[in-house]
Structure formats: structure tokens, C-alpha cells
């Protein structure tokens, strides 16, 4: 009787079969589950372990049986192609890409402090870097019949997840065809994350990995791919994940006036020290750490750090690997998908009771981060890539 009740309760809660999560995660929403790791742990490892990788779920985690899993590839003149997980693993070369993924809402909480925005209150850790392995989307589309005739009309590739809302409609979105078919685009139908099966929270058994592009297009629990002349008509493509002017409020927002976010702008943040931390005056030096990344395969080439609120700047050391380990090999130009971790150790400025520490990154197209948040404020709190600032107190012992 009790067991039956429990069963019924579970059945009525679509989130009851969600996986276990690591207790260190900071939860922004339980159902759907959205959480991020503490910043100082995030930059401890160049490759983010999956348990620490931010979880951004729009809907309950679907339970997918790998044996009966089928991926539908549609929209091509030859008709639909149906692929099992085994097909994906055996019929196409396995390709591995180290790519950073970032939620469009990363650093929203700081934007929310300027003026209220709508959305999950992400800190600075809705970003992670992983090794993804799988079939190239390009190879799968070619096998499904993509050719010069299709290239004439095809403009977008739609992705649909197996995660569904109460009305049965699935999470969905699209990317431009040139990103999908470009030999250097590195778009994957990934079945491994960091050398293991993709975990349930990250899209088991197959997720799309679109390097250099906002997290929202990296559809998890992938069920269907459609080649199309049109962009996805989904809510998430047409009425969310777009940027607006700071003067645009909910009364006058016109979603058609703004393009769907794809590539993300240059970004960086300070993970150590934390905002509000106390530094001991007897320490002779201060070490500042963080991450830096840019969308579209652009490489971060410099991170400037200020210990005096932006008056003077020092150049941080960048690395593309774990501390004390050799860097990962440099990717070719335009395919720099992974973040850099950075660190600066500098003399503790004398006489200051408080320090405002700032970081800002530069990528290889020499784009930079804007100085302040208000001029990039937008009603959904997306795309916060203003300089990251933390204040610390310097105390006498």
C-alpha cells in the first residue's frame, strides 16, 4: 500500500527519475534541475569533471534505453535516416573535441543587481570545459544524403530533444547550415563526455556539441535532426535566447528584431579570490585566478588583471592544461573551442584596505569585454560579458 502510494507519487512527478547530483553544486532551480559548481573548484581542473559541470535542464531528464534508442535524421530528399546508438558508434569515425560550453545566462546574477531581469540566477560558473567524442554531424548529414542539391536550399539544422513538457512538446532549436557542414565546424553528435558515456544530466545517450556556440543549441537527449530552409520555430529559438538594447523592456520587446544567439562574445571571470574574501596584509603577494573564453573558435590571447579598480593593468599567465602539466596542443586558427585558465601573482598593493580586482580578456579578433554592465543590460539577463569585478578586504593580523 505504502509502496504503491510512493510509486504513484513518483509517477506524478516527472522529475522523480532525475539522476543523483553532487552535493557541492549550487542549485538555482530543482525542477528542472539547474546548478553550478563553486567558482574556486571550477578552475581547479582544465577539464571539468562531469559531476561538477553546470547542469542546465529545461525539462525533466528523460530516461533513454540505449538499446532501443533511435536518432531520426529528416528533411533530406532521400527520406528519413534512422540510426541506432550502435550505428552512430560504428558507421562514422569517432571524433574528439575539447570544447567549452557556456550558458547564455552565465553571470546573470550580476546583471540582475543592476536592474531586475527574468531568469535563473546564475553566478559565474555556468560554464565548463570537456572532451566530447562522437560522430561528426557533417558525416551523418552526408550519409543521410546531403549534397550540392541540398546545399542550394538548406539553411538550418534543427535539433529536437527527447525531453518533453507536459503537453508533450520537446526542447528544440537550430543552428545555421554553414556551422553544421563546415569541415572546421567540429559539430558533434557526442556519445562520450571526458572519455565515458555521456551522463544522464548531460544528454545520455547522445547530445549535440556545437563548439563556440551558446549552450542552448547543444541539444541533449537528441531525438531528431531536421535539415531545413527555415530556422527552428521553437520557443527557444524565436522567443528566448536573444539579446536586446538596455532600453528595451517587456512592453516593447519585438523578438523578430533580434537574431538568435549563436556564437558567444569574449568572456572571463575571477574565480579566486571570491567576492568579499579577506586577504591578510602580511601576505606579500596576491594570487588571482580565473577562466577566459571566446565564442566562434576565437582564441583568448590575453587577460588583463587590475588590482586597483581598473587604474592599472597587469597581464596574467594563460594555460591550456592543468597546472604544472604541458598545455594541450594549439588548435588551428578559428577552431580554438576550449577556454584558457589564467593566473596572476602580484605584490599586494600597499596601504589599501580594500581592493577592487578586475579581469578582462582579449580574443584573437581583438574583441574585448565592455567595462560595465548597465549598457549591456537586457531584460532576460543574457550575455553578461562585462569586466568581472570582485572586492576583497585587506586586514591586519
- Binding partner of 103, given a copy of itself, Mo ion, none, CB within 5-8 angstroms per partner class: Mo ion
Q: Which is nearer to a copy of itself, 15 or 313 (CB)?
A: 313
Give the Cβ contact number of residue 2 at 10 Å: 6
Neighbouring residues of 304: CB distance < 8 A, sequence distance ≥ 6: 313, 314, 315, 316, 359, 360, 361, 362
- Binding partner of 317, given Mo ion, a copy of itself, none, CB within 5-8 angstroms per partner class: none
Q: Which is nearer to a copy of itself, 196 or 230 (CB)?
A: 230
Strand partners, 359: 305, 388
Q: Which residue is nearest to Mo ion (CB)?
A: 103
Q: State in angstroms the smallest separation of the CB of 345 from a copy of itself.
A: 16
Q: Which is nearer to Mo ion, 106 or 133 (CB)?
A: 106
Nearest to 235 by CA among 180, 165, 178, 155: 165
- Reading the block at residue 217, the C-alpha cell is 543549441
Residues across the chain: 397
- Reading the block at residue 43, the C-alpha cell is 578552475
Q: Which is nearer to a copy of itself, 50 or 158 (CB)?
A: 158
Q: State in angstroms the smallest separation of the CB of 333 from a copy of itself.
A: 5
Give the Cβ contact number of residue 377 at 10 Å: 20
Interface residues toward a copy of itself, by CB under 8 A:
176, 178-179, 184, 243, 245-248, 258-259, 261-266, 295-296, 298, 301-302, 304, 310, 312-315, 332-334, 360, 362, 364-372, 375-376, 383, 385
**CA atoms of 159 and 232, how far apart (whole Å):** 8
Nearest to 157 by CA among 170, 143, 172, 174: 174
- Reading the block at residue 72, the C-alpha cell is 531520426
Q: Which is nearer to a copy of itself, 25 or 270 (CB)?
A: 270
Q: 127-136 and 188-193 as β-strands: parallel, antiparallel, unpaired?
A: antiparallel
Q: Which is nearer to a copy of itself, 125 or 369 (CB)?
A: 369
- Binding partner of 215, given Mo ion, a copy of itself, none, CB within 5-8 angstroms per partner class: Mo ion
- Binding partner of 296, given Mo ion, a copy of itself, none, CB within 5-8 angstroms per partner class: a copy of itself
Q: State in angstroms the smallest separation of the CB of 384 from a copy of itself.
A: 11
Q: Which is nearer to Mo ion, 101 or 362 (CB)?
A: 101
110: Cα separation from own chain's centroid:
18
Strand partners, 274: none
Q: Which is nearer to a copy of itself, 184 or 280 (CB)?
A: 184
142: Cα separation from own chain's centroid:
27
- Binding partner of 201, given Mo ion, a copy of itself, none, CB within 5-8 angstroms per partner class: none
Q: State in angstroms the smallest separation of the CB of 395 from a copy of itself.
A: 28
Interface residues toward Mo ion, by CB under 5 A:
103-104, 215-216
Give me the residue label for grid cell 525542477.
31
Give the Cβ contact number of residue 265 at 10 Å: 20
- Binding partner of 263, given a copy of itself, Mo ion, none, CB within 5-8 angstroms per partner class: a copy of itself
- Binding partner of 364, given a copy of itself, Mo ion, none, CB within 5-8 angstroms per partner class: a copy of itself
Q: State in angstroms the smallest separation of the CB of 291 from Mo ion.
A: 17
Where on the phi/psi map is residue 276: left (φ > 0), alpha (ψ -120 to 50), or beta?
left
- Binding partner of 216, given a copy of itself, Mo ion, none, CB within 5-8 angstroms per partner class: Mo ion
Amino acid at each position: 500500500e505504502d509502496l504503491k502510494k510512493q510509486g504513484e507519487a513518483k509517477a506524478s512527478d516527472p522529475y522523480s527519475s532525475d539522476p543523483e547530483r553532487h552535493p557541492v553544486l549550487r542549485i538555482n532551480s530543482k525542477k528542472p534541475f539547474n546548478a553550478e559548481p563553486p567558482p574556486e573548484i571550477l578552475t581547479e581542473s582544465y577539464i571539468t569533471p562531469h559531476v561538477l559541470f553546470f547542469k542546465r535542464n529545461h525539462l525533466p531528464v528523460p530516461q533513454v534505453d540505449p538499446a532501443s534508442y533511435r536518432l531520426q535524421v529528416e528533411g533530406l530528399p532521400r527520406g528519413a535516416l534512422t540510426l541506432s546508438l550502435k550505428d552512430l558508434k560504428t558507421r562514422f569515425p569517432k571524433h574528439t573535441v575539447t570544447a567549452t560550453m557556456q550558458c547564455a545566462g552565465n553571470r546573470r546574477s550580476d546583471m540582475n543587481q543592476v536592474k531586475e531581469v527574468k531568469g535563473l540566477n546564475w553566478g559565474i560558473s555556468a560554464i565548463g570545459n570537456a572532451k566530447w567524442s562522437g560522430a561528426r554531424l557533417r558525416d551523418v548529414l552526408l550519409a543521410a544524403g546531403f549534397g550540392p542539391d541540398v546545399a542550394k536550399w538548406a539553411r538550418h539544422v534543427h535539433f529536437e530533444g527527447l525531453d518533453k513538457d507536459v503537453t508533450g512538446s520537446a526542447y528544440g532549436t537550430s543552428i545555421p547550415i554553414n556551422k553544421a557542414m563546415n569541415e572546421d565546424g567540429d559539430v558533434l553528435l557526442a556519445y562520450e563526455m571526458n572519455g565515458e558515456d555521456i551522463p544522464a544530466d548531460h544528454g545520455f545517450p547522445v547530445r549535440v556539441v556545437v563548439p563556440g556556440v551558446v549552450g542552448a543549441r547543444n541539444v541533449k537527449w537528441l531525438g531528431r535532426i531536421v535539415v531545413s530552409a527555415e530556422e527552428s520555430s521553437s520557443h527557444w529559438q524565436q522567443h528566448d535566447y536573444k539579446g536586446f538594447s538596455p532600453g528595451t523592456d517587456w512592453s516593447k520587446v519585438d523578438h523578430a528584431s533580434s537574431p538568435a544567439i549563436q556564437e558567444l562574445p569574449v568572456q572571463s571571470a575571477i574565480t579566486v579570490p571570491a567576492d568579499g574574501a579577506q586577504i591578510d596584509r602580511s601576505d606579500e603577494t596576491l594570487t588571482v585566478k580565473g577562466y577566459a573564453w571566446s565564442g566562434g573558435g576565437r582564441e583568448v590571447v590575453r587577460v588583463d588583471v587590475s588590482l586597483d579598480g581598473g587604474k592599472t593593468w597587469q597581464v596574467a599567465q594563460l594555460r591550456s592544461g592543468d597546472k604544472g602539466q604541458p598545455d594541450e596542443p594549439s588548435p588551428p586558427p578559428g577552431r580554438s573551442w576550449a577556454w584558457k585558465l589564467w593566473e596572476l601573482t602580484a605584490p599586494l598593493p600597499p596601504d589599501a584596505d580594500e581592493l577592487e580586482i578586475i579581469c578582462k580578456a582579449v580574443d584573437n579578433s581583438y574583441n574585448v569585454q565592455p567595462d560595465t554592465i548597465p549598457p549591456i543590460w537586457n531584460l532576460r539577463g543574457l550575455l553578461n560579458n562585462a569586466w568581472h569585478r570582485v572586492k576583497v578586504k585587506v586586514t591586519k593580523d
